[in-house]
């Protein structure tokens, strides 16, 4: 199939065929990162702006590495060092960036819908690298790519997403993505962190963490996002770890070939014990490795996907 989308804003906008095309492209590009010279000229002459208004390690660095592996010129802008601190509006900042003729703007913002606003207003392609509590489509795509790589497919799998569902854009994008690709998704966590109406996205709410874990093929653990909380939603981290954390005792409930995932950053000893995070079920660093290939694929497809990625 031919890629036609101008932007990557959320998983809702993508069809299952488009998601499969993204996976196929990412698997094809992944081996470039294994070469002695990890660079192809595919996007030479293209300019990619990384416009990050919230902190990030994995997402910003992997977009930057992905751009460089394809020979695009990339530059990062952070809120604290931009003229936004002088009172410039988001749209004025973005219009000025567009006036310098970049080909793609990758954007992370604390407000839900900020990338959608830019995509409607500007001609340049926009990739949403996380908007508030709304969506993190590239995280969901790399999570699904990792499961497809390890399991061969997504249809029919039981996926458990556990923790602070309320504040998690990763949970929302993964619920939409995994259900769209034929998996069943259960969520569990403190009742104060399960948003009303989450079932409308396609997830079932499990009565307890143990029930969510039972026969799970994939477990996605989530960090407590204290930075987005206006009041305390759990008693203590120790109590949270005891009631909702993933530890060795709970692993007996999952399937013997299950995958343990986490989008990062981890709070070791809170939502996940160090033994589980570093243990044999964990594919957390595979997710990070696949994030580079997945983001290379998105740049490649948005740029037209017509040039020879194998040339060196």
Contact footprint for ligand CP (CB under 6 A) = 56-59, 130, 139, 263-265
| Least gap, CB of 142 to ligand CP (angstroms) | 9
Listed residue (55, 75, 77) closest to 64, CA to CA = 75
* Integer CA distances (angstroms), 300 to 70, 124, 234, in order: 8, 15, 43
How far apart CA 67 and CA 73 sit, in angstroms, is 7
Listed residue (286, 288, 289, 266) closest to 277, CA to CA = 266
Between residues 180 and 262, which has the closer beta carbon with respect to ligand CP? 262
| Least gap, CB of 309 to ligand CP (angstroms) | 25
Between residues 114 and 309, which has the closer beta carbon with respect to ligand CP? 114
| Least gap, CB of 45 to ligand CP (angstroms) | 27
Between residues 177 and 206, which has the closer beta carbon with respect to ligand CP? 177
| Least gap, CB of 37 to ligand CP (angstroms) | 27
Displacement of CA 125 from its chain's centroid (Å)? 18
| Least gap, CB of 251 to ligand CP (angstroms) | 23
Listed residue (133, 130, 114) closest to 122, CA to CA = 114
Between residues 251 and 263, which has the closer beta carbon with respect to ligand CP? 263
Between residues 25 and 168, which has the closer beta carbon with respect to ligand CP? 168
Strand 104-109 versus strand 47-52 pairing type: parallel
């Amino acid at each position: 199939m031919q890629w036609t989308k101008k932007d990557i804003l959320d998983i809702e906008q993508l069809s299952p065929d488009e998601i499969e095309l993204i996976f196929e492209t990412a698997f094809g590009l992944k081996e470039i990162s294994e070469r002695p010279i990890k660079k192809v000229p595919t996007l030479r002459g293209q300019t990619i702006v990384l416009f990050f208004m919230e902190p990030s390690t994995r997402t910003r660095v992997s977009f930057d590495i992905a751009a460089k592996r394809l020979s695009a010129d990339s530059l990062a802008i952070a809120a604290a060092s931009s003229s936004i601190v002088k009172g410039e509006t988001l749209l004025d900042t973005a219009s000025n960036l567009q006036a310098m003729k970049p080909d793609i703007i990758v954007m992370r913002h604390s407000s839900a819908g900020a990338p959608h606003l830019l995509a409607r207003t500007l001609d340049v392609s926009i990739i949403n690298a996380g908007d508030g509590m709304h969506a993190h489509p590239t995280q969901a795509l790399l999570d699904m790519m990792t499961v497809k790589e390890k399991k061969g497919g997504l249809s029919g799998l039981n996926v458990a997403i556990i923790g602070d569902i309320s504040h998690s854009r990763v949970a929302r994008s993964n619920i939409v993505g995994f259900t769209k690709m034929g998996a069943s998704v259960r969520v569990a966590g403190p009742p104060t962190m399960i948003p009303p109406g989450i079932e409308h996205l396609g997830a079932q709410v499990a009565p307890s963490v143990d029930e969510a874990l039972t026969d799970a093929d994939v477990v996605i653990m989530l960090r407590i996002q204290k930075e987005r909380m206006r009041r305390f939603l759990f008693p203590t981290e120790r109590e949270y770890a005891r009631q909702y954390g993933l530890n060795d005792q709970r692993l007996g409930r999952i399937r013997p070939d299950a995958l343990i995932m986490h989008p990062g950053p981890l709070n070791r000893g809170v939502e996940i014990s160090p033994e589980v995070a570093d243990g044999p079920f964990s594919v957390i660093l595979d997710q990070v490795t696949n994030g580079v290939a997945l983001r290379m694929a998105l740049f490649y497809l948005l740029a037209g996907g017509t040039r020879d990625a194998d040339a060196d």
